[in-house]
Amino acid sequence: MCRISMLPEHILQRILYFLSQTEVVRISVLSKSWRNIWCTRPNLDFSINAFDGNKQDFIFTVDSTLHRYLDQRLCVEEFRLD
């Protein structure tokens, strides 16, 4: 296990804050300890371009993400919808 993965979750979330959503998802695949942290990062950035114009998948993803944040009472510091 790398030393970065041993950091507290709030610090890992802060690291992920500075990366794009695409980069964060790619990183989450590399390590088990990072796998779920990207789902709780404090900034959300949604772009329909990442869904190849599939409007239904885009709406479902935004909706389910917002419900997860609400259910877990997670804080959103920054929100971008494109």
Residue among 62, 59, 15 at smallest CA distance from 37: 15
* Phi and psi torsions of 3, nearest 5°: -65, -35
pLDDT for 56: 93
Global pTM value: 0.71
pLDDT per residue over 32-69, tens digit each? 777 777 778 888 888 888 888 789 999 998 999 899 89
| Residue that the structure tokens 């989450």 belong to | 28
Determine contact, residues 42/13, Cβ cutoff 8 Å: yes
For the chain, which residues make up each domain, given as ranges?
A: 3-81
- Whether the pLDDT of residue 7 is over 80: the answer is yes
- Whether the pLDDT of residue 1 is over 80: the answer is no
| Secondary structure of 15-77 in HEC code, one letter for each residue | HHHCCCHHHHHHHHCCCHHHCCHHHHCCEEEECHHHHCCCHHHHHHHHHHHHHHHHHCCCCCC
- Whether the pLDDT of residue 82 is over 90: the answer is no
pLDDT for 50: 81
